[in-house]
Amino acid sequence: MIDMETLTRLMECTRLDAVSWTRRGLMDNQHGDRVLIVGAGAGGAAFLDVFADEHLIHVAGIVDSNENAVGIQHAKARDIPIFTDLETALDCVGKCMVFNMTNDDDLSDVAAGRVGAGGVIGGKEAKLFWQIISRLQTTQEELWENQSRLKAVIHNVCEGIVTIDTKGKIENVNPAIGQIFGYQQDELIGQNISLLMPEPQKGLHDSYIHNYMRTGEGNVLGRYREVSGLRQNGEVFPLELNVNEMKLAGEDHFVGILRDISERKEAEETMAQLALYDQLTMLPNRTLFYERMESSLSQAQRTKSSVALLFIDLDGFKSVNDTLGHDMGDHLLVEVGKRLLQCIRDSDVAARIGGDEFTVLLTNLHDIDVAAVIANKIIHALNQPVTFKGNSCHVGASIGIATYPSPASDVDDLVKEADTAMYEAKNAGKNRYSIAKPTM
């Protein structure tokens, strides 16, 4: 697609091409800068419109006996002298170049007798010139239309568009840039593009451009990538950015297309929340908990530390659910999740893996006896009454404890050993913990 500056230059060249031959004729034939147009039909009107906008050529008048001719109307709108007779016009205008746009060669002879043969363009020559003018005007109209469409697209797209020079100075922005970053468009023109970047990108940007211009090596041009933007109010937000290099009049520029992806990132986070967290207690679900266990066991292997898994099954939950209703049961589960988090460190993990089953992962342990202390703390916390809408209930907790690297050697062993120990706690009377024993 042709950019706006190129379109403007093409249109300027079109207009100049239309008059350059005439200007050279005026200078070569020494008839000054005054032009007299004979005939106010379509051809004469076209010449008048082109020459009237040319500063070096002065339309001294137009000649036609038909006062309704289109060229006469154009002349009236531009305050150009109007004549109905060529002789009178020549008397008034004096030294000039005459364009005879009629089919009457006698008028060309009359004009040649007054200004010389070299000062008259008529007949086939004038017709050819009029055809050139007509084509150039059509081209100009098409270019203006393309420019208008391009401007409309750039003005209305949701993506931000910004152009900068090789020093990082902002040259142009579209309205979307202002909306995305919170600036007025004119506040950004002339500013360094790093104004829209948080640290550390802000401090590195100018050196990156300098290195690229010096070496021609860069890995960010021509591809979309995610970066951070800085709004006027100081908010840092996620952006998708595509940068390309372009040349105009032999000079290097860079154009960037930016898209605010804050909503997309929020949607992704929501999807992750739905996929990885229990929607009632907002604790990690089974999938995320297993990922955390894998990571914790790998870290324990590197640091020569231990990990303990507490498998927790609530005692008496079914009775609460059946007698006081599901609302009370749900409230109880939420409260259990809160109390579990109060009993462990920020580096530990509590999860709900289904129904009334919870797990706790104690990481980076150097004293395995800590697991039993935490288990007792959890049992005491969960034994406290829970009140909801005037009803009160309480539950107990049977907890199985397994540790890594002994007796469990991997995640599957850890879960199996903790689950087995939990059933041992239930069989021993519930509301207590049991520790998996190393196998001999």
The domains found in the chain, sorted by start residue, are: 4-150 (3.40.50.720), 157-263 (3.30.450.20), 277-435 (3.30.70.270)
CA dihedral over 83, 85, 91, 96, signed as positive or negative: positive
Q: Is 265 left (phi over 0), alpha (psi -120 to 50) or beta?
A: alpha
| pLDDT of the residue at 144 | 74
Q: What percent of the chain has pLDDT over 90?
A: 56
Decide if pLDDT at 392 tops 60.
yes
- Residue 84: Cβ within 10 Å count: 12
Backbone angles phi, psi at 391, to 5 degrees: -105, 145
Residue 3 pLDDT > 60: no
Residue 382: pLDDT over 50: yes
Average pLDDT over residues 385-392: 92
Least reliable range by pLDDT among 154-158, 227-231, 429-433 = 154-158
* Residue 237 reports pLDDT greater than 80: yes
Q: For residue range 337-379, what is the model confidence (pLDDT) as tens digits? A: 999 999 999 999 999 999 999 999 999 998 989 999 999 999 9
Q: Please tell me the predicted confidence (pLDDT) of residue 8.
A: 44
Mean per-residue pLDDT, 406-414? 90
* pLDDT beyond 50 at 412: yes
Assign 153 a pLDDT band (cuts: 50, 70, 90): low
Two structure tokens written together for 274: 């739905």
Name which of 428, 341, 438 is nearest 381 in CA terms.
Answer: 341
Provide mean pLDDT across the span 238-261: 89
In three-state form (DSSP H/G/I as H, E/B as E, the rest C), the secondary structure along the chain is CCCHHHHHHHHHHHHHHHHHHHHHHHHHHCCCCEEEEECCCHHHHHHHHHHHCCCCCEEEEEECCCCCCHHHHHHHHCCCCEECCHHHHHHHHCCCEEEECCCCHHHHHHHHHHHCHHHEECHHHHHHHHHHHHHHHHHHHHHHHHHHHHHHHHHHCCCEEEEECCCCEEEEECHHHHHHHCCCHHHHCCCEHHHHCCCCHHHHHHHHHHHHHHHCCCCCECCEEEEEEECCCCCEEEEEEEEEEEEECCEEEEEEEEEECHHHHHHHHHHHHHHHECCCCCCECHHHHHHHHHHHHHHHHHHCCEEEEEEEEEECHHHHHHHHCHHHHHHHHHHHHHHHHHHCCCCCEEEEEECCEEEEEEEEECCCCHHHHHHHHHHHHHHCCEEECCEEECCEEEEEEEEECCCCCCHHHHHHHHHHHHHHHHHCCCCCEEECCCCC
pLDDT, residue 133, reads 66
Mean pLDDT on 65-76: 93
* pLDDT at residue 374 in the model: 97
Let me know the angle formed at the C-alpha of 263 by 260 and 264, rounded to the nearest 5 degrees: 90
Question: Which of 64-78, 96-110, 122-136 is least confident?
Answer: 122-136
List the single range of 128-142, 168-182, 188-202 with lowest mean pLDDT: 128-142
- 24 token code pair: 């050279």
Q: What is the mean pLDDT of residues 307-324?
A: 95
What average pLDDT does the segment 189-194 reach? 93
* Mean pLDDT of the region 110-121: 89
Residue-level pLDDT at 145: 74
Residues designated as active site:
356
Which of 126-135, 247-256, 327-336, 402-411 is predicted least confidently? Answer: 126-135
- Span 184-199, mean pLDDT? 92
Cβ–Cβ under 8 Å, residues 438 and 407: yes
